[in-house]
Chain A
Amino acid sequence: MTYFKSVWTIVRKDIITELRSREMLFSMGAFAVLVILLFSFAFDLRVAKAGTVAPGALWSVIAFAGMLGLGRSLAAEIDRGSFDALLLAPIDRSAIFLGKAVGIIIFMSIIEAVILPLFVIFFNLPFLQPQIILVILLGTIGYGGIGTLFSTMAANTRLREVLLPVLLLPIAIPALLAAVKCTAGALDGRPFDDWASWFGLLVAFDLTMLGAAFLLYDFVVED
């Protein structure tokens, strides 16, 4: 019980500080909206059927906007030294990982709630359906979870802006690929059996990566 109380304390703190500063949400949101506009104009000129590229465009926006948030979330803690104060607390360090990961997943979900209707408007496709929302939720959990581990590693280095995408994107490829395939399957109205293997890969990625990040976090935060 104390464990989850600690996790919630960290999540709550992240939400309050973000709602007051709005640094992360603003940068993620502005970036996401600009890229959607860019994609919508670019694809309008070149692509015959928007549905073929829309799932990839959606996940590109989620991945890069999420990376902005991940970078800011941990870097801000480490720069002001407050991350040391968290590490000093007599709590399991996996609770710190979970707290930070849940925080970033919430912020990514807020941005996704904004961009999904924009995708509906600009691409004129039925993105707002339960299957796609479930896929987005699973993709966000896996990406946010493993991203929290890598952003903690990168934030301690001088090359953090370069290191985070270099570390995160290759590892996240299976999840992003599976999420794109699942989104395309749902968007095209194909039966679940057609894309069930991709859905399974997404779930397996979430379980494996979250488990690994959960176990490895203690080693990552100690110098």
Chain B
Amino acid sequence: MIIATSLTKQFGPFMALKGIDLNIRPGEFVTIVGPNGAGKTTLLRILATLSRPTGGRVSIAGHDLPKGADDARRHIGLLSHQPLLYGDLTAEENLRFFGRLYNVSNLEKRILDLLDEVDLLHRRADRARTFSRGMQQRLAIARALMHDPDVVLLDEPFTGLDPDASDRLEELLRGLNNGSRTVVMTIHDLDRGWAMCNRALVIARGKIVFEASTQEVDQATFRSEYHRVTR
């Protein structure tokens, strides 16, 4: 579903990614962890088609980037630590706006279904700016799923959430990986990241320095390896 080969990204003299190779299969939930400045967000922005790689190849759902970026975008949903919503539009209007851009069929039904799924149906006529941070993130999930994407990219989605809102969000995000949907998440919380994924990657200094499947390695080993490779 997601293939990257020798991916590099340079900002002026700074090399943010130094040759990333990825092969993420359909239905996988992959967590990417690493220290600040390791290149996690840069990698996710390239996979989301928001940033152009300096070198290497990327393919999303069979579409090579950047040439097939428009087609690839139909398969991608992004949830960031910012909700990417319009505060002066209501929950319903936000979803309607993005639904129209994605040319979603049965739009009104889809909006109501998604609002129900994220438990915001009762607040559908309220402006997004009146929502708590947790509610905004739930609405952002609905926005990211509006076009029923095959690939969902999560860029530190728990940032700024209180424990209750984080637990609620985790429950919703676990539901994303319904067997066919591929999920890639960057996160700082090692335990939560490990608990949610099938496979975890550690990025440090622009490279993948460790990779483990949750079926092969236990959480304690992953944690100790993380500290060893990022030291």
Residues of chain A at the chain B interface (Cβ within 8 Å): 2, 5-6, 9-10, 13, 16-17, 20-21, 80-82, 84-92, 222-223
Nearest CB to that of B83 among chain A residues?
Answer: A81
CB distance from A29 to the nearest CB of B (A): 18
B143 cross-chain contacts in A, Cβ below 8 A: 85
**Majority SS of interface residues in chain A?**
helix
Contact B102 A81 (CB under 8 A): no
Produce 1/0 per residue, B17-55, CB < 8 A to A: 000000000000000000000000000010011111000
State A2–B101 Cα separation when bound (angstroms). Answer: 9
Please, which residues of chain B bring their CB within 8 A of the CB of A6? 100-101
Contacts A/B (CB < 8 Å), 11 sampled: A5-B100, A5-B103, A13-B86, A17-B88, A81-B84, A84-B82, A85-B85, A85-B98, A87-B50, A88-B78, A222-B66
Q: B81's closest neighbor in chain A, by CB?
A: A81
Asked whether B93 is an interface residue with its Cβ less than 8 Å from the other chain, the reply is: yes
Q: Are A92 and B70 in contact (CB-based, < 8 A)?
A: yes
B182 within 8 Å of A by Cβ? no
Known contacts: A89-B73, A222-B50. The answer to whether A13 contacts B82 by CB under 8 A is: no
Contact B50 A88 (CB under 8 A): yes
Query: CA–CA, A223 to B50, complex, Å?
Result: 7
Chain B interface (Cβ within 8 Å of chain A)? 45, 48-52, 66, 70-71, 73-74, 76, 78, 80, 82-89, 93, 97-98, 100-103, 127, 143
Bound CA span A115–B216, Å: 71
B52–A88 CB distance below 8 A:
no
Q: Which A residues are in CB contact (< 8 Å) with B127?
A: 20
Whether A21 contacts B88 by the Cβ 8 Å rule is yes
Contact A88 B93 (CB under 8 A): no
Nearest chain B residue, comparing its CB with the CB of A10: B101
Is the Cβ of B102 less than 8 Å from the Cβ of A90? Answer: yes
Contact residues in B for A10 (Cβ distance below 8 Å): 101
The answer, among B50, B66, B70, B86, for a CB contact under 8 Å with A17, is B86
Checking B89, B101, B103 against A16 with a beta-carbon cut-off of 8 angstroms, the contacting residue is B89
A90 touching B74, Cβ below 8 Å: yes
Q: Pick the 3 closest A-B CB pairs, nearest first.
A: A81-B82, A85-B84, A89-B101
